[in-house]
Amino acid sequence: MTITATALPKSGEEDGTVKYAGIGPLELEAGGFLPDVVLAYETWGQLNAEASNAVLIQHALTGSTHVARGATDEEGWWEQLVGPGATIDTNKFFVISINIVGGCYGSTGPSSEAPDGRPWGSRFPLVTLRDSTEAEARLADALGIDAWHAVLGGSMGGARALEWAVTFPDRVKRCAVISVGAYSTAEQIAFAQAQTLAIRQDPNFNNGDYYGGTAPEHGLALARRIAHITYRSALELDFRFGREAQHQETPLAAAVLGERGRYQVESYLDHQGTKLVRRFDANSYIAITEALMSHDVARGRGPLEQALSRATAEFFVAAVDSDRLYFPAQSRELAAALPGNVPVHLIEAPIGHDGFLTEIGQLSAQLRESFFA
């Protein structure tokens, strides 16, 4: 098997720009097969001679690999944490973020070209988080990274970090799992199924073979609305919108149902759906959502404590106090099952689950002390 990766850049010159690596064929946990997988990734900083300063940051469900702006003008999603002089100081650490297999930001996914020259579409196989970890390990090999100084992420990114620590215990020295538990619960799977079904029932979905035609934008936008409700707290929605009507619209004035105006919160959800449609592929949304459904670090490894006993990393666990998607209780369950005495750090944010993005700076001091001093 031949693995090809872009040569490592000199420090700073290509920070925050997308690179690509071919990692060869990938046999998948659920029985599928991808004959030629490409991973898209971004890096910041420079790998030292010992390859001991590498940090892997895992993106969340619809996140990109653009963690920090680097040499670009585009703001990254963890600017509070990553950059020159930041907690994860890119003058000291070599940071990498990899687009998950199944994604639409450069890695092989449903919209990618299959061997017959057509997009994979409905033929794209089920990819689990363990599959994505295997793929990322091959990229690490190609870059000369035998072990990570730290692997961390929030939400699905945290699930991916945890899977790394258990699947490759000798390759992860430190692991930060933020705003996610040890497995996807029945409720989380239920929310996810509603989202994927919204896309599949769009008249334009065509069983996933919509490329070259009209994309299932309405279904994808509806999926995002469902998801976004779980990303924000009831308190925040009430505080921001209450029962107010959208400007120049009248929710309680309509001769027929189809002419009713919107409440502000409805307009907000419409906006969130429209934004995602502009940047994301519907098939990738299904593929990655179902990968997250597969999240269960103990699957096939015995009881949770036994499964986690494989890990040798130092752990950092954190939750958002107002999270109603991945409840803090799940973080506490994970921490209690991990080897040693692992505390649960709390992000205090009324916003809900998305606090792992907007308020990540609250963990800067604790992460610096624990992992990045």
Does 97 qualify as catalytic in the annotation?
no
CA atoms of 227 and 225, how far apart (whole Å):
5
Residue 271 phi/psi, 5-degree rounding, is: -65, -45
* Catalytic pick among 155, 284, 294, 331: 155
Query: Token pair for residue 137?
Result: 């390990």
Does 353 qualify as catalytic in the annotation?
yes
**DSSP bridge partners of 175:** 151, 315
* Catalytic pick among 202, 323, 331, 354: 323
Could you count the other beta carbons within 10 Å of the beta carbon of residue 72?
A: 15
* Catalytic pick among 112, 296, 353, 354: 353
Strand order in the sheet with 314-320: 4-5, 19-27, 33-44, 94-98, 54-58, 150-154, 174-178, 314-320, 344-347
Does 323 qualify as catalytic in the annotation?
yes
Annotated active-site positions, please? Answer: 155, 323, 353
